[in-house]
Amino acid sequence: MMPSEAEIRDFTACITELVQLWSCISIQALDTVPLLRILPNPSLQRLLQVVEKRDAFVRAQIQRHQESLEPERPRDVVDHLLLAMGDLGPKRLHMALVDLFIGGTETTAALLAWACAFLVRHPEVQDRIHAELQDVLGPTAPLRPRDRDRLPLLSATLNETLRLRPPVPLALPHRTTRPTSVAGMSIPQDTIVIPNLFAAHHDETKWLEPEEFRPERFLAPGALRDLLPFSCGARACPGEALARAEALVTLGRLLREFRLEPAVLGTLPALNVVSFGIVLRCPSLCLRLVPRPRAPPPARGHTLVTPLPGVMTPLPGELP
């Protein structure tokens, strides 16, 4: 049950602005110094306005689905959540959809952009992934999330991208409810703790050549142990499975059909981190999608040879 195109465009613009506002220093500082909330903050005022716009969209989607819900025939994830609302409650249902709409768009888009940027610089990895897709799925079988374990190099490439450029470089703030310690460092009660995932993924004591793009590191058993792009434990990102599924299918289908090349030959995309916001975005990226040759099946009753990729030539004497 899709919203109108105009609603989708407005909501997309809302989410984009929301992520940008979250990245403002004047907003991020509120997590570490809550007393700053008493001071005038135009960014915070605008953030609250955009949040209300976001919530109005979510409320409208819930109401539409409630009015047309058929319990025997759920149409989408909103219907399924409505059917489970007895367990969730209205507030949790609302925030579950907020997480889905925001966490399932901006972060996955950032992951895919970074993956493309790295792969343009490593065309040999592109070719190996394409060969893996052809070997496992053939030219026409659909790519599905459950194929992840059958596509180890594609999965490893996404994991390496998540390591080098975690879409959310700083995990959500937590507050200690009692005195504790981490790695020998004492942390008093009521301390705001913000895990630095980016630093953890570039720790030389955990990763060999941490600045290098090496997907094959995740082909080794146990390599996922120190990878934490979605955090871990009871407060891990609930959308991890969805994000991984979206990224696997999208990138896999892209590399199956196309070779990624720089828009201007000889000019490689930048990989520098411009700024640390809520979402770690890839610098502006412009690519050429070059279709990979795909030979159609031979016509019935004809034998065909291919002297050049994608060029089909009938053998002499076999024309109709």
Question: Phi first, then psi: what are they for 76, rounded to 5°?
Answer: -155, -175
Question: Phi first, then psi: what are they for 227, rounded to 5°?
Answer: -95, 120
152-164 vs 106-120: helix crossing angle, rounded to 10: 110
Burial class (CB in 10 A: 0-12, 13-18, 19+), 39: exposed
CA dihedral 238, 240, 241, 246 (to 10 degrees): 130
Alpha-carbon separation of residue 129 from 31, 190, 289 (angstroms): 41, 47, 16
- Beta-carbon count within 10 A of 23 CB: 16
Distance CA 250, CA 253 (A): 5
Q: What letter would DSSP give residue 170? A: B
Report helix, strand or coil for 180. strand
Distance CA 244, CA 155 (A): 9
Alpha carbons within 13 angstroms on the beta-carbon side of residue 15 total 20
* Residue 24 marked as a ligand binder: no
- Known binding residues for heme are 237
- Known binding residues are 237
